[in-house]
Amino acid sequence: MFTRSQQISSPLILPMLGSIVTTSVIASIVLLPPSRPTLSLQQLLLRAAFDLTIAVCIHIVTVWSIWRLIREYVEPSAGTLAVHIWAAVVWLPLITTLSAERSLWISCLVPWAFANAVTFLNLWSKLPQDEEPVAPTAHVLFQSPSTPPLLITLLPYCITIVVLQAGLASLASGHPWAAAALISASVLLFLVRYPFVRGVAKSRRTFSRFSLLQTAAVFFLISTALTPYLQKAYGLRSLASFLATPAPVTRATPRLASGSAYSGVILTLPAKPHPRIEPPTRSNQTDFSAALPKPVIIPFDGAYWYFKRSDTRPKPDARIQQGDPIKANVSSTDRRELAMEAHQMLSTSISGDCCRAMRIDLLNGDDRPGLIRIELLLRDTSGKPGSSILLGSLPIPSSQLRHIPLNRPPVPESLRFQMPATAHGRRFDEITVVIKPSSDRALAGSKIAIQNFVLIP
């Protein structure tokens, strides 16, 4: 396979790639962040230490196993290999965490880990015993110095700059992994031309210390990336925004995934003050006009549910985060349609005799063509399962337009639902809004935001 005289970087690629691939696969399966804020500060630090410990164990076992197979063809010992390759592998637990959080910082950390890997190969690509003195070249009189063409000189720099700019453009457009690949390619082009190796022996000792020092930096950054999952903020929200894409941020693009990922998304809103609603007395339960003296506005501060159509609600592993449904981009990862519901819990039970109609005030921020219908149900959570009052289904007028301009601002809409006769004598303490888009656009959540419910006497 390799002869002893071929002590170059080729055999050393095997333990490096083996450790990177093995650690990446196991980390992506084991080191997933929590689905909701459940960590205490102590648990957060233990979790960061646990992630690094798992990566260390996988790395050492993988490097040692491969080293035993190729030790006849490489100069460094297993310990030296493990320390040097660790400079690239140490970032994998952090990259796994940030990938689950869809953080843009991946585009910076992946090229950094890639640069460490290339530097490791450069350190061992030329061993001292392979270096032979270069014989002096004979000088010929009247020989003109040869200079390469300007295009050949500038071409590597131009390619590096173009690839780097393409990576920055991908980052600006919100594609962190594409940006990471392009920036890593530009780093490779730069390091191939200008390797950071000055004095092999001294550079190897410096790189060993540098490799171990990066462990502390990764421990701090993993702890930072996990701060959105603290039970209490402890004043660390600003720290979380430095590195992670925390759960409350609405710019994140959650996707309903299958397999090991979460199966649904729940967007919550900050609590708002609600008016006290006095239920009608027995003497006027049949008199709708006497039930409420004036309209009552119930501000919406409930939750939006996103789940696959075969389910009736999000599963326990659904991701919970604060957000605005108009800004959030939630889509299905397969061909199964996405269900979207808005749920508003009421502090007190309300009689169905309270009003003649209920109005929904909402914002339609969806500029995609296609009809969207709104279905309204009133539920009694203390009663039997399925005991609900269906008020009907109405289309959103602004969704019926054939031509919708791009970047149209959210359109305020009001839909009025008549209280049916079946509501007489029944009570409800939850309002459910089912948002039903047309089937050709049902693979993504509609950008509909519920504003208020209005009880009309």
**Does 155 share its domain with 90?**
yes
**Does 185 share its domain with 275?**
no
Looking only at Cα atoms, what is the longest distance across the chain? 121
pLDDT for the residue 374: 95
Is there a domain that residue 260 lies in?
A: yes
pLDDT at 385 over 80: no
Q: How many CA atoms lie within 13 A of 142 on its CB side?
A: 0
**Does 225 share its domain with 287?**
no
Sheet (strand 448-456) strand order: 296-299, 448-456, 357-364, 411-418
Is there a domain that residue 53 lies in?
A: yes
pLDDT tens digits along 138-170: 555 455 556 666 666 666 667 777 777 777 777
Is there a domain that residue 248 lies in?
A: no
Helix, strand or coil for residue 18?
helix
Name which of 44, 181, 47, 51 is nearest 109 in CA terms: 181
Q: Give the sign of the dihedral formed by CA 432, CA 370, CA 416, CA 419.
A: negative
**Using an 8 Å Cβ cutoff, are 428 and 380 in contact?**
yes
From 194, 213, 243, the end of a domain falls on: 243
Is there a domain that residue 1 lies in?
A: no
Is there a domain that residue 138 lies in?
A: no
Instruction: Give 14-30 as a DSSP string.
Output: HHHHHHHHHHHHHHHHH
**Does 260 share its domain with 239?**
no
**Does 434 share its domain with 338?**
yes
pLDDT for the residue 278: 61
Q: How many CA atoms lie within 13 A of 313 on its CB side?
A: 5
Is there a domain that residue 331 lies in?
A: yes
Instruction: Give 63-76 as a DSSP string.
Output: HHHHHHHHGGG-SS
How many domains does one find in the chain? Answer: 2
Model confidence, pTM: 0.46
pLDDT at 108 over 90: no
pLDDT tens digits along 292-349: 678 889 999 999 999 988 788 888 888 888 889 998 888 887 778 889 999 999 888 8
Between 86 and 386, where is the model more confident?
86
From 188, 220, 243, the end of a domain falls on: 243
**Does 225 share its domain with 322?**
no
Radius of gyration of the chain (CA): 31
pLDDT band of 2, cuts 50, 70, 90: very low
* Calpha distance 377→436 (Å, rounded): 13
Is there a domain that residue 96 lies in?
A: yes
pLDDT for the residue 1: 40
Is there a domain that residue 338 lies in?
A: yes
pLDDT band of 40, cuts 50, 70, 90: confident
**Does 339 share its domain with 440?**
yes
**Does 304 share its domain with 189?**
no
95: which residues sit within 8 A by CB, 6+ positions away? 106, 109, 110, 113
Sheet (strand 303-308) strand order: 319-322, 265-268, 303-308, 338-351, 427-437, 372-379, 388-395
From 188, 213, 243, the end of a domain falls on: 243
**Does 181 share its domain with 307?**
no
Name which of 180, 338, 198, 178 is nearest 265 in CA terms: 338
Q: What is the mean pLDDT of the chain?
A: 77
pLDDT tens digits along 279-307: 544 444 444 444 667 888 999 999 999 99
**Does 236 share its domain with 275?**
no
Domain that holds residue 426: 255-456
